[in-house]
Amino acid sequence: MMNKYPEVITENILEQNKHISDDEIKGDIEDTLAEITEKELEIDVQEHILETSSDQARRKMAHFRKGAAEDGIERRKEFILLLERLLAARQKQKATN
C-alpha cells in the first residue's frame, strides 16, 4: 500500500497545520491507537469465524472484513507516523528559533 502522507514535513506543511495544537495532535495519536486496537479485535473476530464457521458465505465475508481491517490498520499507522513527524518537526523548529 502506498503512503499518501508526505515523508518530509516542510515549512509549508508546518504553516498549514499551525492552527492545530500539539496537545490536539497528541490526542489524535491516542484516538488513532484506539482505532487500531478496535481493528485488531475485529481481525480476531473474523479469524475466529474463518476457523469455526462451516457457512461458506459467512467465511467469505469474514475474509473480506479481515482484509479491510488489516488495510485500515496500515492506513492508521501511516497517519500516526505523519503526526509524529509533524510533532518532531515542530520541536526542531522551536529549538532552532
Q: What percent of the chain shows pLDDT beyond 90? A: 93
Would 4 be classed as within a structural domain?
no
Would 5 be classed as within a structural domain?
no
Q: Which residues contact 52 (CB under 8 A, 6 or more apart)?
A: none
The helix (run of H) or strand (run of E) holding residue 81 is helix 56-96
C-alpha distance from residue 85 to each of 25, 45, 62, 91 (Å): 11, 33, 35, 10
Would 97 be classed as within a structural domain?
no
Q: How far apart are CA 52 and CA 59, in angstroms?
A: 9
Residue-wise pLDDT tens digits, 1-36: 567 899 999 999 999 999 999 999 999 999 999 999
Average pLDDT value over all residues in the chain? 95
**Domain span holding position 70:** 11-92
Would 3 be classed as within a structural domain?
no
Query: Are 74 and 32 within 8 A, CB to CB?
Result: no
Would 6 be classed as within a structural domain?
no
Would 1 be classed as within a structural domain?
no
Count of structural domains within the chain: 1
pTM for this predicted structure? 0.88
Largest distance between two CA atoms of the chain: 64
Would 42 be classed as within a structural domain?
yes
